[in-house]
Amino acid sequence: MDLDAVRTFVAVADAGQFREAALALSVTQQAVSKRVAALEKDLGARLFTRTARGAHLTVDGQVFLPHARDLLRAEERAAASVRPGRRALRVDVIGRRLAPADLVRDFHRAHPETALDVVTLFDADAALAAVRSGTIDASFRALTLPVRQLPDGIEAARVHDEPVELLTGPAHPLAAARTLTPAQLAGHRIWMPGNVAGTEWAAFYDDLAAAFGFTIEVTGPQFGTEPLLDTIADSALLGTFVGEQTRVVWPADHDLRRIPLHDPTPVYPHSLIWRADNPHPALTALRAHLGTIRPGRETWTPKWAQ
């Protein structure tokens, strides 16, 4: 259906005259007449009767009017859903219980008027492709390549360093420690079945293990967080890593221990990625809210993050 014709029909119905509708739409009265006639032909019904006092809706016109208004509202919603500055800002986070999700929530608390669509893509490659295509406005990811090697038009800034913690069950030999150094993990087994080869998080933890002499194990199927915690709780050999801001809940009888790591503190480097030519005003606000950071002297990150 020709929405210009529908818009013209509504304008005539509201104005009660073809001439006044033409003035409101900034078109000629002849154009208004042609659009209404085309719509009537399309519908197979007369919508107006003309009198010396103006245009009056027929019964069919009265029946069609609320549907015509719905069509125009739907058109506006459809356009607003993709129009920068009016549609929601689309942001990718690596996980809804991880630090980037907290960063987005903090931004929304500071800017409650900003509409957000939060999505979760698989890895940095998928996120970069989505940013390049405009499917999303920004993504929080660890970048395993230098910013200067990003595709043309893509920019990134390191916005958050998240400390890594050891998670163990009560029978683990390190469970009683209040803090640990990464070197104290040498010889221990860290079980992370979610470490998918080729992903940015696998690259981070593989480099961390290589730097401090412990083993990352990925054997076994990845059934999710709860089975992982069940296994860690019952094991005297296995621990796992979690981010300091990762929200994890377990049964009280698991008695799991979150142990901070220091001297140095391994930090997971979260960067914000966006297209330089993206005009969405909320993206500018998000970047200003996050700012940029410089790595701390007492922290550790892989060489590719430095």
Nearest by Cα to 266 from 227, 298, 235? 298
Q: What pLDDT score was predicted for residue 85?
A: 61
Peptide bond into 170 cis (omega under 30): no
Determine the Cα–Cα distance for residues 280 and 211; give it in Å rounded to an integer. 41
With H, G, I as helix, E, B as strand and everything else as coil, classify residue 248: coil
Q: What CA–CA distance (Å, rounded) separates 138 from 131?
A: 6
Give the global pTM: 0.72
The chain-wide mean pLDDT, for the chain, equals 92
Q: What is the mean pLDDT of residues 66-82?
A: 85
Residue with tokens 């992903």: 199
| Rounded Cα–Cα distance for residues 16 and 21 (Å) | 8
- Tally of helices (H runs) and strands (E runs) in the chain: 9, 12
Nearest to 163 by CA among 144, 147, 182, 184: 182
Go through the domains of the chain in sequence order and give each one's CATH number. Answer: 3-80 (1.10.10.10), 89-160+267-297 (3.40.190.10), 164-266 (3.40.190.10)
Q: C-alpha distances in angstroms, 84 versus 89, 119, 247, 277? A: 8, 18, 32, 12
Confidence tier at 12 by pLDDT (50, 70, 90): very high
Rounded distance, CA 306 to CA 297, Å? Answer: 12
Give SS3 for 54.
Answer: strand
Handedness of CA 13, 15, 17, 22 (dihedral sign): negative
36 sits in which H/E element:
helix 29-43
Cα–Cα distance, 112 to 265 (Å, whole number) = 34
Residue 84: per-residue pLDDT: 62
Q: What is the pLDDT of residues 231-247, one digit of tens each?
A: 999 999 999 999 999 98
* CA distances, 213 to each of 167, 175, 268 (Å): 18, 19, 18
Q: Cβ(108)–Cβ(117) under 8 Å?
A: no
DSSP-assigned beta bridge partners for residue 239: 168, 190
Q: What is the 3-state secondary structure (H, E, C) of 225-237?
A: HHHHHHHHHHCCC
Q: How confident is the model at residue 2 (pLDDT cuts 50, 70, 90)?
A: very high
Q: Residue range 180-195: average pLDDT?
A: 94
110-138 confidence digits (pLDDT tens): 999 999 999 999 899 999 999 999 889 99
C-alpha distance across the termini of the chain, in Å: 57
Question: Comparing C-alpha atoms, which of 106, 158, 136, 128 is closest to residue 286?
Answer: 106
Neighbouring C-beta atoms of residue 297, cutoff 10 Å: 6
